[in-house]
Chains A and B, each alone.
Chain A
Amino acid sequence: MIKQKVRVKTFQINGIDVTGRSDSTILEVAKEHDIHIPTLCYLEGLSCVGACRICLVEIKGSNKLIPACTGKIKEGMEVFTDTDRLHKHRKMILSMIFAERTHTCSVCVSNGHCELQDMSVELGMEHSQVPYLTNRFDIDASHERFVNDPNRCILCTRCVRVCDEVEGAHAWDLVDRGLDTRVIHDMDDPWVESESCTSCGKCVQVCPTGALSEKGVSATEMVKKKSLIVNLLEMRNRER
Chain B
Amino acid sequence: MAQKIKVATIWLDGCSGCHMSFLDMDERLVELSEYMDVLYSPYVDQKEFPEGVDLTIVEGALSSDHDVEMIKTIRQNSKKILALGDCAITGNVSTMKNLYGTRAIMETGYGQNADHNESGEYPHLVVPKLLDRVHPLHEIVPVDYFVPGCPTPADAIYTVLKALIEGKEVNISQLTRFGK
On whether the two chains bind one another, the answer is yes
- Residues of A in contact with B (beta carbons under 8 Å apart): 98, 102-108, 111-112, 114, 117, 120-128, 131-132, 134, 136, 151
Q: Which 6 A/B pairs are nearest by Cβ-Cβ distance?
A: A105-B179, A106-B150, A136-B99, A105-B178, A127-B146, A111-B179
How far apart are the CA atoms of A136 and B171 in the complex, in Å? 34
Residues of B within 8 A of A132 (CB): 90-91, 95, 98, 135-136, 139
A-B contact pairs, 6 of them (CB 8 A): A104-B96, A120-B177, A126-B148, A127-B148, A132-B90, A136-B100
Using A104-B90, A104-B95, A106-B150 as known contacts, list a sample of 15 further A-B pairs with CB atoms less than 8 Å apart, ordered by residue number in A: A102-B95, A105-B86, A105-B90, A106-B92, A106-B93, A112-B180, A120-B177, A123-B173, A124-B171, A126-B146, A126-B173, A127-B90, A132-B98, A132-B136, A136-B99
Residues of B within 8 A of A120 (CB): 173, 177-178
Interface centre among B95, B133, B174, B177 (most CB of A within 10 A): B177
How far apart are the CA atoms of A125 and B99 in the complex, in Å? 24
Residues of B within 8 A of A107 (CB): 93
* Interface status of B5 (Cβ within 8 A of chain A): no
Residues of A within 8 A of B148 (CB): 126-127
Is A102 a contact of B146 with CB atoms below 8 Å? Answer: no
* Interface status of B147 (Cβ within 8 A of chain A): yes
Is B100 a contact of A117 with CB atoms below 8 Å? Answer: no
Residues of A within 8 A of B12 (CB): none
Tell me the minimal C-beta distance from A152 to chain B in angstroms: 12
* Interface status of B89 (Cβ within 8 A of chain A): yes
* Interface status of B172 (Cβ within 8 A of chain A): yes
Is A105 a contact of B150 with CB atoms below 8 Å? Answer: yes
Interface size class of B (residues with CB under 8 A): 20 to 34
Residue of A nearest to B150 (CB): A106
Chain B, range 108-137, C-beta contacts under 8 Å to A: 133, 135-136
Residues of A within 8 A of B174 (CB): 121
Residue of B nearest to A112 (CB): B179
Contact of B96 (CB < 8 Å), options: A102, A105, A126:
A102
Tell me the minimal C-beta distance from B138 to chain A in angstroms: 6
* Interface status of B55 (Cβ within 8 A of chain A): no
* Interface status of B57 (Cβ within 8 A of chain A): no
How far apart are the CA atoms of A106 and B96 in the complex, in Å? 12
Tell me the minimal C-beta distance from A87 to chain B in angstroms: 13
How far apart are the CA atoms of A131 and B62 in the complex, in Å? 14
Residue of A nearest to B99 (CB): A136
Tell me the minimal C-beta distance from A120 to chain B in angstroms: 6
How far apart are the CA atoms of A107 and B179 in the complex, in Å? 8
* Interface status of B74 (Cβ within 8 A of chain A): no
Tell me the minimal C-beta distance from B139 to chain A in angstroms: 6
Residues of A within 8 A of B90 (CB): 98, 103-105, 127-128, 132
How far apart are the CA atoms of A160 and B38 in the complex, in Å? 54
Tell me the minimal C-beta distance from B20 to chain A in angstroms: 14
Residues of B within 8 A of A124 (CB): 171-173
How far apart are the CA atoms of A54 and B177 in the complex, in Å? 19
How far apart are the CA atoms of A121 and B172 in the complex, in Å? 9
How far apart are the CA atoms of A151 and B95 in the complex, in Å? 13
How far apart are the CA atoms of A98 and B148 in the complex, in Å? 14
Residues of B within 8 A of A108 (CB): 179
**With contacts A107-B93, A126-B146, A127-B89 known, is A117 near B178, CB below 8 A?**
yes
* Interface status of B157 (Cβ within 8 A of chain A): no
